[in-house]
Amino acid sequence: MLNNPNQTGNKTQGLFGLGSQLSDAQTVVLPVPWDVTASGKRGSAGAPGQILYRSSEIDIGNPIIPEFWETGIYMAPIDSDWQSKNQVLGQQVAAYIQGLEQGDHAIDESLTQAVDAQSDALAKWLGREMQILDEAKKSIIVLGGDHSISRGPISHVAQQTDALGVLQIDAHMDLRSAYQGFRSSHASVMYELITQIDHLSLVQVGGRDYCPEEDALRHAYPGRIFWHLDQGLAAEQFEGVSWAQQCEKMIAQLPQDVYVSIDIDGLSPQYAPQTGTPVPGGLTYQQVIYLLHKLLKSGRNIRGSDLVEVAGEKAGIDALVGAFLLFQLALVQYGSQQRLGLV
């Protein structure tokens, strides 16, 4: 039996203090403690643990599916092997990146190849874990970690459909062919996906920090990469275009099957001041929630989702905001998959 959500949240009773178990939870969160290639401030590998801890502070009533909490929301244990690999490789990469930032432009091929190999193994591991949960008819959300972890889940979901659109909320485009020598960098994850999966498209929302290479790639994939830059969105709003109208345009560019990927730095830094690569500007929390709810109401099939780049700091609001976003992701994804009969 689930814990009473009207009482004080119990931090020893799992995600949102509900006491959900894997066997009876219809939503499962897969934590991924991986931020090896973080090029700004590291720490997102610790986010799953901090979000789990802060999640019991949330009152989980909502007007969309009031009984949602009764379906159970469970976070799987954090994998200690990946946690250990992240710590060992992360220390090596941090020293290497520091050298690059000090003007040493020599690529350490042995290190970058080792990291890429482990990232490939991580993507395959996530695919296997998701397949097991698919067969058990669970709604799956992947919780990072840095954005590189999205490759495995998106690739897995793409195998299940003829056309998959990724709705990416992010300050960055992640469209570099490689970054700092890493093919598997958090800054190149969407490049790998768009160039390797022909039936994939990207609708990128909130971007405001990108390089010329990424802009060129956008033009090289007309009809498959759609940008809704933060500056352009703000300018339209200043001139009278509503957020509702902008969301309708974004959703119209998505196919029927959708994967949602939220990098928390897509929001204004006031919501996530400790994220690794904060950028001025950005979306409000309510704008993101409105977009997610509008996506659900559109009838799109939300086949999977992830939340990444939340800081693993114990202090501050980052993990708390991450917990709120995680609940909203779980809510809209469950609503969509329930309609499809997938859960």
Does any domain span residue 6?
Answer: no
Does any domain span residue 10?
Answer: no
Distance, CA of 322 to CA of 297 (rounded, Å): 23
Distance, CA of 134 to CA of 139 (rounded, Å): 8
Does any domain span residue 203?
Answer: yes
Does any domain span residue 290?
Answer: yes
Q: Containing H/E element for 308?
A: strand 301-308
Q: Is the dihedral of CA 11, 12, 13, 15 positive or negative?
A: positive
pLDDT digits (tens, 9 = 90+) for 195-204: 999 999 999 9
Domain that holds residue 253: 15-340
pLDDT at 290: 98
Distance, CA of 149 to CA of 122 (rounded, Å): 8
pLDDT digits (tens, 9 = 90+) for 332-342: 999 999 988 87
Does any domain span residue 293?
Answer: yes
DSSP secondary structure, 180-219, as one string: TTBTT-TTSHHHHHHHH-TTEEEEEES-----HHHHHHHH
In percent, how much of the chain has pLDDT > 90? 92
Average pLDDT of the residues in 66-72: 95
pTM over 0.95: yes
Residue 166: CATH number of its domain: 3.40.800.10
pLDDT at 44: 97
pLDDT at 16: 96
Does any domain span residue 98?
Answer: yes
Q: What are phi and psi of 116, to 5 degrees?
A: -60, -40
The count of structural domains within the chain is 1
Does any domain span residue 9?
Answer: no
1: confidence class by pLDDT, cuts 50, 70, 90? confident
Look up residue 106 and give its two tokens. 């020599």
Question: Exposure of 65 by Cβ count < 10 A (0-12 exposed, 13-18 middle, 19+ buried)?
Answer: middle
Q: Among 88, 260, 101, which Cα is nearest to 179's?
A: 101
pLDDT at 200: 98
Q: State the Cα torsion 192-79-331-191 to the nearest 10°.
A: -10
The answer to whether 130 and 140 have CB atoms below 8 angstroms apart is yes
Does any domain span residue 178?
Answer: yes
* 72: pLDDT strictly greater than 80: yes
pLDDT digits (tens, 9 = 90+) for 254-266: 999 999 999 999 9
104: confidence class by pLDDT, cuts 50, 70, 90? confident
Distance, CA of 321 to CA of 289 (rounded, Å): 12
Average pLDDT of the residues in 271-283: 96
**CB neighbour list of residue 201: distance below 8 Å, 6 or more residues apart:** 163, 164, 165, 166, 194, 223, 224, 225, 226, 253, 254, 255
Q: What is the mean pLDDT of the chain?
A: 96
CA angle 321, 324, 329 (to 5 degrees): 125
212: confidence class by pLDDT, cuts 50, 70, 90? very high
* 315: pLDDT strictly greater than 80: no
